[in-house]
Amino acid sequence: MKAEVVIIGGGVIGASIARELSRYSLNIILIEKEDDVAMGTSKGNSGIIHAGYNDDFKTLKGELNIKSNPKFDKLCADLKIPFKRIGSLVIGFSEENFRKLKELKENGEKNGIKNLEIIRGHKLFELEPNLNPQAKYALYAPSAGIISPYKFTIALADNAVINGVKVLLETKAKDIRIKERQVCGVVTNRGLIETRTIINAAGLHADEIAKSAGDNFKINPLKGEYQLFDKQWGNLVNHILFPIPTKLSKGILVAPTVHNNLLIGPNSCRVKEKDDLSTTKAGTQEVYEGARKLIPHLPHQDLINYFAGLRADIEGRNDFIIEASKKIRGFINVAGIESPGLSSAPAIAEMVSGILKEVVKEISPQLELNYKDDFVEALPEQPKFADYLDKTGEWQEIVEKDADYGEIICRCEKVSKGEMIRAIHQPVPARSLDAIKRRIRAGMGRCQGGFCSPKVLKILSEELKISPLKITKKGKGSEILKTKTKEMIKEETGVKFKDEVRV
Amino acid sequence: MKLEYDLVIIGGGPAGLAVALEAKRNAVKDILLLERDKYLGGILPQCIHNGFGLQYFKEELTGPEYAERFISKLKECQIDIKTETMVIKITPDKRIVAINRDDGLLHIQAKAVVLAMGCRERTREAIAIPGNRPAGIFTAGTAQRYINIEGYIPGREVVVLGSGDIGMIMARRMTLEGARVKAVLEIMPFSTGLIRNKVQCLDDFNIPLKFNHTITRIKGEKRVERVTVAQVDKNLQLIPETEEEISCDTILLSVGLIPENELTREVGIKLDPVTRGPIVNENRETEIEGIFACGNVLHVHDLADFVTEEGEIVGRAVGEYLKRNRKFRSQSIKIVPGDDIAYVVPQHIDFIIPGRKKIKIFMRVKKPAERVRINLLDDEGRILGSYKKRIVTPGEMVSVYLPEVLLDDKLKNITISIKRD
């Protein structure tokens, strides 16, 4: 297999870069080791598009966040994913906190954010009636917003595929081939891909990939746990609420999600393993108690999910690494993309595109990077029943064209069979229960798939034309079912079992 | 199709089936039954074990047999049935929006509505067991569907958390299918399911039931590999030194059922925080006149037979409601759960019904006890009635009869409490 550019990693960064580069007539392959994109940090984070007052403008974090923030309205409209600019409030309780808020405001203004405001007194509670009554001040940033980070990533990847990028799932980079200090290929579990340019967007594993190209930095995973509450509680807060940030993190936030659930988290905990997504009792308590400092009455009886995500924190450095390797030609590192990585993704992709042009000039002068005429900016409209509950007449027309859209499979999130079939055949296809869940929310609701998972499994098996025994939760090794029942085997083969027990 | 009905029943499980038949017997004419699954019967078709019908039919049936008794009768009546039809909205003036493949969206006007949507299982997520999130964690009912309806076994080495009825039944079912059930863990010092299920499903198959135990951690990245279990003390706090690991590929959860009241909440009906079902009067009528609720959407029942009984109460009540000849009491009497009673249903008594001699009150106790009295007390704490019970346990619903003669006009509250005899 051959490509002009190989992107390693299908997170929000890899997918953003893939989409940005698909504007050019280039042969691009994106490889992802899991069975879907958005399987690492991109699925386990707060889903916040930050205003950009936290970091210094002289850092990449500060610069790229500020540059990206205004782009999300159009980008999300094009990608047909929800984005809500609901604004954020950093809550202060003391004089000391007030000074910190002023500092943040000044920094934000230096960065060029114009509409920051410090709010105090009763106005605070008009904005947030359920806020801790002891709160005194808040830094209000109207430009902060919420997004579904995995939906964003999937849509970016879908759009890239439509524009010619090949996305290879369950394809793991094992080694980088180098010849005379020039990249010449990447070895994967599916064989060699010949290429002269590699973009390392491998998230938590970017240090391992960089190492095989001779670059040295170390990524230390920093775990954060989250809790998610039932949809009826999304209105408990109106904005993203942050505590006063620390050096290490922006703290345990309380925010609605774009689907109107209530999200709390993350804490911050060093872990050894890059696959340690386990939740802990202590973490659960820390997150709950932390969030209660902002919103004292949380609906613990309506907890519907909890999970952990890992930040890719680079040892000894408080900024992203986005640069061409100094040791190897044709190798670009995009690493250490922790918060505000999601918020910076569009500008990161543009920056990488610029770096790539320089690299290409040097190593393949014959390759001209020209904009394609036929770049498709937007994804087609993908109607979801849940969005049509007040427009039933319009949905009626959809059902009349395709009856699958009249069969509701997931009762909690109101997802039709038609949407499910569409997700299984979209550009980056859903092939597991979790992949379906991330695309169309079937199984994401209060019953967590208790009712719909047998039905979703059946539809996956029919559409992919494979046995139900092969359907997984999240890729190979996570098969849901073990064997057929005796009854079924008997029916199919006529075999009798010796140990048959009658009750 | 016809879009106006006297009665629309939402849910075709044992509750909805009983309502339909009983309403028909009580001269309700136009009835529509809406069911979201392919078949009627609710959860019964996947409950292939026996133990159904002992109370109602005085004979022992399996779940599918029990359902069939009602379904076959229903087909003889003129009742419109729509399966694979999902109700998405109910309004206070009893308009219903539903959807299916053939009709698309249906807008139906009803004179009376019965909520009979049943319940869902509490999940691993709702009880926040720490650890990984691999494949192999199922609620017991989901595993039951995979085995009994779809024909697939979801695991070979199983740990069951919670001693609810479905959990114990599935421990036996998995054993019969050749799986090894290593333990059933119950955090409380008593079983939360029926005693007969403990005997027939666990004891008879030598499946150990460990009281005061719970899962403290789930391990395994892609598929469950093992669980850490530990003993808890009287305050349900973990005793760390008792932690041990059990290897298994599957965890079944039987940790409680939650009435499915999203539609109810959206229409604006108040829910009881303990039952998580609507607050109802003796007709099982919610605070919106003409909207009734019965079965597991109202409160979780132990036996399908009790659900049928409740459905029949509603079937008759709908008949009375549509005839418009009901007489309200001058003030409603509240039934209040007192000492050691978790909840009572109905929560209030609203009607004067000529010829009625007694009202059956259902309740659940908070903890097991032996040789007790269930006392009915008036506002001054005077005992109105007292019933001896040899054994009460949270896993088995308790009922007492409230004699009509006790209900005088001055009575505001009746408190029900338990006392050691």
Residue (of A45, A67, A66) closest to A55 by Cα position: A66
Query: Domain check: are A166 and A252 in the same one?
Result: no
Cα–Cα distances in angstroms (integers) from residue B58 to residues B54, B55, B201, in the given order: 4, 5, 22
The residue-averaged pLDDT of B45-71 equals 96
Distance from CA of B110 to the nearest CA of A (A): 19
Residue (of B285, B307, B255) closest to B120 by Cα position: B255
Confidence (pLDDT) at A503:
39
The residue-averaged pLDDT of B305-328 equals 95
Strands A28-31 and A166-168: parallel
Retrieve residue B1's tokens: 């199709």
Query: Domain check: are B392 and B376 in the same one?
Result: yes
Nearest to A278 among B101, B123, B131 (CB): B131
Write out pLDDT tens, residues B199-232. 999 999 999 999 999 999 999 999 999 999 999 9
Q: Of B326, B361, B384, which residue is a domain's last?
A: B326
Site of tokens 């610029």: A354
Q: Of A276, A294, A314, which residue is a domain's last?
A: A314
Write out pLDDT tens, residues B256-284. 999 999 999 999 999 999 999 999 999 99
Which backbone phi and psi does A231 adopt, to 5 degrees? Answer: -50, -30
A421 within a domain of the structure (yes/no): yes
DSSP structural state of residue A295: -
Query: Domain check: are B321 and B332 in the same one?
Result: no
Q: Hey, of A483, A495, A499, which one would you mutate to test binding to chain B, going by the most B CBs within 10 A of its CB?
A: A483
**The domain containing residue B393 runs over which residues?**
328-421
Distance between CA atoms of residues A213 and A449, nearest Å = 43
Residue (of A319, A336, A12, A331) closest to A206 by Cα position: A336
The residue-averaged pLDDT of B236-263 equals 95
For the question of residue A50 being annotated catalytic, the response is yes
Q: Of A285, A314, A343, which residue is a domain's last?
A: A314
Amino acid at A100: K
Nearest to B123 among A280, A450, A484 (CB): A450
Distance from CA of B208 to the nearest CA of A (A): 20
Q: Closest-CA residue in chain B for A478?
A: B222
Q: Closest-CA residue in chain A for B259?
A: A447
- Domain of A74, CATH number, reads 3.50.50.60
Query: Domain check: are B136 and B36 in the same one?
Result: no
Query: Domain check: are A71 and A157 in the same one?
Result: yes
Residues of chain A positioned with their CB less than 8 A from the CB of B222? 473-478
A295-299, B101-105, B324-328: least confident range: B324-328
- Identify whether the C-beta of residue A173 lies closer than 8 Å to the C-beta of residue A202: yes
Retrieve residue B161's tokens: 């958390």
DSSP structural state of residue A485: -
Asked whether the beta carbons of residue A447 and residue B120 sit closer than 8 angstroms, the reply is yes
Nearest to B177 among A396, A458, A486 (CB): A486
Long-range CB pairs of A62-65 (<8 Å, 24+ gap) are A62/A111, A63/A347, A64/A320, A64/A344, A64/A347, A64/A348, A64/A351, A65/A340, A65/A343, A65/A344, A65/A347
Query: Domain check: are A300 and A204 in the same one?
Result: no
Q: Closest-CA residue in chain B for A434?
A: B135
Which neighbouring-strand residues pair with B61? B52
Distance between CA atoms of residues A164 and A483, nearest Å = 40
Distance between CA atoms of residues A266 and B223, nearest Å = 25
Nearest to B125 among A392, A448, A454 (CB): A448
DSSP structural state of residue B336: E
Write out pLDDT tens, residues A254-278. 999 999 999 999 999 999 999 899 9
Query: Domain check: are A152 and A178 in the same one?
Result: yes
A498 within a domain of the structure (yes/no): no
Residues 6+ apart with CB under 8 A from B269: B278, B286, B287, B288, B291
Query: Domain check: are A51 and A155 in the same one?
Result: yes
Q: Of B255, B274, B291, which residue is a domain's last?
A: B255
Give the number of domains in chain B.
3
Question: Terminus-to-terminus CA distance in chain B, angstroms?
Answer: 60
Residues of chain B positioned with their CB less than 8 A from the CB of A483? 152-153
Distance between CA atoms of residues A440 and A419, nearest Å = 7
Asked whether the beta carbons of residue B128 and residue A306 sit closer than 8 angstroms, the reply is yes
Cα–Cα distances in angstroms (integers) from residue A360 to residues A167, A201, A327, A329, B323, in the given order: 22, 18, 16, 9, 84
Distance from CA of B189 to the nearest CA of A (A): 22
Nearest to B130 among A284, A475, A478 (CB): A284
A492 within a domain of the structure (yes/no): no
Query: Domain check: are B245 and B209 in the same one?
Result: yes
Distance from CA of B303 to the nearest CA of A (A): 20
Look up the pTM and report it: 0.94
Nearest to A501 among B103, B149, B176 (CB): B176
Cα–Cα distances in angstroms (integers) from residue A237 to residues A129, A292, A305, A386, B265, in the given order: 8, 12, 19, 22, 20
Distance from CA of B27 to the nearest CA of A (A): 33
Distance between CA atoms of residues B147 and A226, nearest Å = 33
Asked whether the beta carbons of residue A396 and residue B126 sit closer than 8 angstroms, the reply is no
Does residue B188 register a pLDDT over 70?
Answer: yes
Does residue B410 register a pLDDT over 90?
Answer: no
CB atoms within 10 A of CB A406: 25
Query: Domain check: are A278 and A414 in the same one?
Result: no
Query: Domain check: are A41 and A179 in the same one?
Result: yes
Amino acid at A190: R
Distance between CA atoms of residues B8 and B335, nearest Å = 29
Residues of chain A positioned with their CB less than 8 A from the CB of B230? none
C-alpha Rg value of chain B to the nearest Å: 22
Residues of chain B positioned with their CB less than 8 A from the CB of A482? 152-156, 249
A303 within a domain of the structure (yes/no): yes
- Domain of A102, CATH number, reads 3.30.9.10
DSSP code string of A440-474: H-TT-STTTTTTTHHHHHHHHHHHHT--GGG-BSS
Task: Provide the total of helices (H) and of strands (E) in chain B, helices listed first.
Answer: 8, 28
ipTM over 0.90: yes
Q: Closest-CA residue in chain A for B131?
A: A278
Query: Domain check: are A282 and A231 in the same one?
Result: yes
pLDDT tens digit at each of 503 positions of chain A = 999 999 999 999 999 999 999 999 999 999 999 999 999 999 999 999 999 999 998 999 999 999 999 999 999 999 999 999 999 999 999 999 999 999 999 999 999 999 999 999 899 999 999 999 999 999 999 999 999 999 999 999 999 999 999 999 999 999 999 999 999 999 999 999 999 999 999 999 999 999 988 999 999 999 999 999 999 999 999 999 999 998 778 999 999 999 999 999 999 999 999 989 999 999 999 999 999 999 999 999 899 999 999 999 999 999 999 999 999 999 999 999 999 999 999 999 999 999 999 999 999 888 888 899 999 999 999 999 999 999 999 999 999 999 999 999 999 999 999 999 999 999 999 999 999 999 999 998 888 999 999 999 999 999 999 999 999 999 999 999 999 998 888 888 776 655 544 43
Element (H, E) at A28: strand A28-31
Amino acid at A36: D
Query: Domain check: are A291 and A438 in the same one?
Result: no
Burial class (CB in 10 A: 0-12, 13-18, 19+), A411: buried
DSSP structural state of residue B187: S
Amino acid at B8: V
Query: Domain check: are B133 and B251 in the same one?
Result: yes
Confidence (pLDDT) at A167:
98
Asked whether the beta carbons of residue A478 and residue B222 sit closer than 8 angstroms, the reply is yes
Distance between CA atoms of residues B56 and B58, nearest Å = 6
Distance between CA atoms of residues B368 and A84, nearest Å = 51
Q: Hey, of B50, B97, B142, which one would you mutate to test binding to chain A, going by the most A CBs within 10 A of its CB?
A: B142
Distance between CA atoms of residues B266 and B130, nearest Å = 32
Query: Domain check: are B248 and B263 in the same one?
Result: no
A495 within a domain of the structure (yes/no): no
C-alpha Rg value of chain A to the nearest Å: 24
CB atoms within 10 A of CB B72: 9
Asked whether the beta carbons of residue B152 and residue A487 sit closer than 8 angstroms, the reply is no
Query: Domain check: are A282 and A425 in the same one?
Result: no
A500 within a domain of the structure (yes/no): no
Give the number of domains in chain A.
3
**The domain containing residue A176 runs over which residues?**
1-80+147-218+316-381
Q: Of A381, A400, A426, which residue is a domain's last?
A: A381
Cα–Cα distances in angstroms (integers) from residue A56 to residues A52, A62, A99, A104, in the given order: 9, 5, 17, 10
- Domain of B153, CATH number, reads 3.50.50.60
Distance from CA of B389 to the nearest CA of A (A): 32
Query: Domain check: are A390 and A479 in the same one?
Result: yes
DSSP structural state of residue B196: H
Per-residue buried b or exposed e for B272-294, using 16+ beta carbons within 10 Å of the residue's own CB:
beebbbbbbbbbbbbebebbbbb
Query: Domain check: are A105 and A133 in the same one?
Result: yes
Which neighbouring-strand residues pair with A252? none
Q: Of B228, B255, B282, which residue is a domain's last?
A: B255
Cis peptide before A340 (omega within 30 of 0): yes
| Crossing angle (nearest 10°) for helices A433-440 and A417-424 | 110
- Identify whether the C-beta of residue B374 lies closer than 8 Å to the C-beta of residue B383: no
Q: Hey, of B150, B229, B271, B274, which one would you mutate to test binding to chain A, going by the most A CBs within 10 A of its CB?
A: B150
- Domain of B390, CATH number, reads 2.60.40
DSSP structural state of residue B55: T
- Beta strand extents in A195-320 (DSSP E only): 198-200, 219-229, 240-242, 253-256, 262-265, 269-270, 303-314
Asked whether the beta carbons of residue B102 and residue A501 sit closer than 8 angstroms, the reply is no
Identify the active-site residue in A50, A205, A239, A259: A50
Residues 6+ apart with CB under 8 A from B304: B14, B44, B52, B53, B63, B66
Asked whether the beta carbons of residue B120 and residue A446 sit closer than 8 angstroms, the reply is yes
- Beta strand extents in B30-85 (DSSP E only): 31-34, 50-52, 61-62, 80-82
